[in-house]
Amino acid sequence: MDKPRSSVFPWVAANLGEILVALAVAAGIFMLLLALRALLLQTGKRIGPHQPLAGVFTSVVRKTRMWFMAALAIQTVQGYVHPPQDVSKTIVFLFTVAAALQAAIWTRALVLGLIERRTIGPDSDAASLTSAMGIIRLLVSAAVFAIAAVVVLDNLGVNVTGLVAGLGIGGIAIGLAAQGIFSDLFAALSIIFDKPFRVGDTITYQGKEGPVTGKVEQIGLKSTRIRALTGELRIIGNTQLLAQEVTSYVGRASYRFQLPFGVIYQTDPDTLARIPALVRAEVERGGHRYINAWLKAFGPSSIDFDFLFEVEDSDAGRANKALEAVALGVLRTFTANGIEFAYPTQTTFTAAPDGTMIMPYPDGRPATPQGKPAG
């Protein structure tokens, strides 16, 4: 304690005037930094509605701490008064600590601001990945402040090589232990930035029992919850969901349906020619857009038709109900016009060795219950 006192107090006594001037200049720099921060905040608020990143910039500037500005002001003027080595080292160390912590705070605010802008921005759903954001904040905070701590310890003269190696090994161990969680977390981040779908979108994905169509209700840290059109809630991991092809119906104004059917071969050609007009009438009766209907093929047990129509509705549930209404209308129209739908059938004919057809009944008529031909 005697050595610092012997060097500090004589320096203060000999340079009191310069020290007071330096402190006044430091106070002026501090006030200037405060005014600059206020000006930047005001500018950010003014240009915020026109610049998407203005909110992130304002958030970063707002995180500028007064103790950092004070340390910066003192560090700026210390060369003017030529302090003793002990005082100079103390000022440099305190400024290094303040700068490292301030840089960590700025980095955290910038990274989280960019992520939150993509999550709850004007073109995103505020409910997307709200649970994941808590984990993201924790991971970002741990990373930036760990780096700041390493910088501070290095300036204290501590050998940080072993510490960095230990942190690396610990990070690998944690990563291996929580591989599934981190995989789903990164998939969740992919959903944030790539936006293949959002809460409220209707999508189709491949489930265990076949294609599943439903509305996205929640995107979480590990899984996504989808309300299927049949009513049940499907829960699927984010990694599993993004590993397959996902069909999104967002932004579509209409649904186009293809409805194939077949009629029996006993249908006469004139009736076959009327079928497209009958189908068109049913489509237009429901207020939908008829596209086309045509005789497609002669199948093994049916004359096959196909027709296309479009439902101008963005909701998948209502569009499917419209498809049902059109299908039932076609069924009623065909019933009223004596048109029969075909189904797989097979007729067996028996022939003699010479090729002559053998009728199943002696006189070509089915037998009565008593075994006698029906008269």
Judged on CB neighbours under 10 Å (0-12, 13-18, 19+), 277 is exposed
Cα–Cα dist 218/235, whole Å: 10
Q: What is the pLDDT along the chain (375 residues), one digit of tens a residue?
A: 444 455 677 776 766 778 788 889 889 999 999 999 999 888 888 876 667 677 788 888 889 899 999 999 888 888 777 778 788 888 888 888 899 999 999 998 888 888 777 666 554 555 555 556 777 788 788 888 888 888 888 777 777 677 667 667 766 766 665 666 667 777 777 777 777 888 888 889 988 888 888 888 888 777 889 999 888 999 988 888 888 888 887 777 788 999 999 999 999 999 999 999 999 999 999 999 999 999 999 998 899 999 999 999 878 778 889 999 999 999 999 999 999 999 887 777 777 787 777 776 655 555 555 545 544
pLDDT attached to residue 48: 67
pLDDT attached to residue 323: 94
Q: Report the topology of domain 193-248.
A: SH3 type barrels. (2.30.30)
Q: Are strands 210-219 and 247-248 parallel, antiparallel or unpaired?
A: unpaired
Is residue 238 within 8 Å of residue 223, measured between CB atoms? yes
Cα–Cα dist 32/38, whole Å: 10
Cα–Cα dist 144/202, whole Å: 38
Is residue 210 within 8 Å of residue 261, measured between CB atoms? no
Length of the chain: 375
Cα–Cα dist 60/42, whole Å: 13
What would you report as the CA-atom Rg of the chain, rounded to the nearest whole angstrom?
A: 39
Instruction: Determine how many CB atoms are found less than 10 A away from the CB of residue 148.
Output: 20
Cα–Cα dist 6/15, whole Å: 15
**What is the rounded (10 degree) CA torsion for 39, 41, 44, 48?**
-140
Whole-model pTM: value is 0.54
pLDDT attached to residue 80: 78
Angle at 229 between CA 228 and CA 232, to 5 degrees: 45
Domain 255-336 has CATH 3.30.1490.20: no
Q: Where are the domains of the chain?
A: 2-177, 193-248, 255-336
Q: 3-state class of 11 per DSSP? A: helix
pLDDT attached to residue 218: 83
End-to-end Cα distance, the chain: 134
